[in-house]
Amino acid sequence: MKFRGAVENAAVPDVLSDADVGLIPFRVTPVTNCVSPIKLYEYLAAGKPVVSTPMDEARAIPGVWTAETPAEWSRALAEALAASKDETFRAKIRGFARENDWSERARRALALLVY
């Protein structure tokens, strides 16, 4: 693993192509349980399984493992790494990300407002 520091937006796809698993190691607080981390959807759109601290948003999404203790992180990382090699799994999580991109979410919200 290599720490890259800040990455320009245009370089994110190249950086993600080098990764096997996306990590979201947030400290769980009342605030983090109210956020939707954008990087989670970026990882899924890139076909990367995700290991996250147990935030509410992460628990509800397919392709995301949650972990709190070091032993749980170890197990989750091993499972996510194995899943990263399964093209069917990767296609499924990319599809989930497509169904939840901003244009799709806006379309669903507008449909609710019209009716």
* Residues β-bridged to residue 64: 50
pLDDT in tens, 28-74: 888 888 888 888 999 999 999 999 999 988 988 888 999 999 999 99
The reported pLDDT for the residue numbered 115 is 64
The yes-or-no verdict on residue 1 having pLDDT over 70 is no
User: Cβ distance 21 to 84 under 8 Å?
Assistant: yes
Give the pLDDT band (50/70/90) at residue 87. very high
Q: What is the pLDDT of residues 7-17, one digit of tens each?
A: 888 888 888 88
- Helix 87-99 and helix 38-45, axial crossing angle in degrees, nearest 10: 130
pTM of the model: 0.83
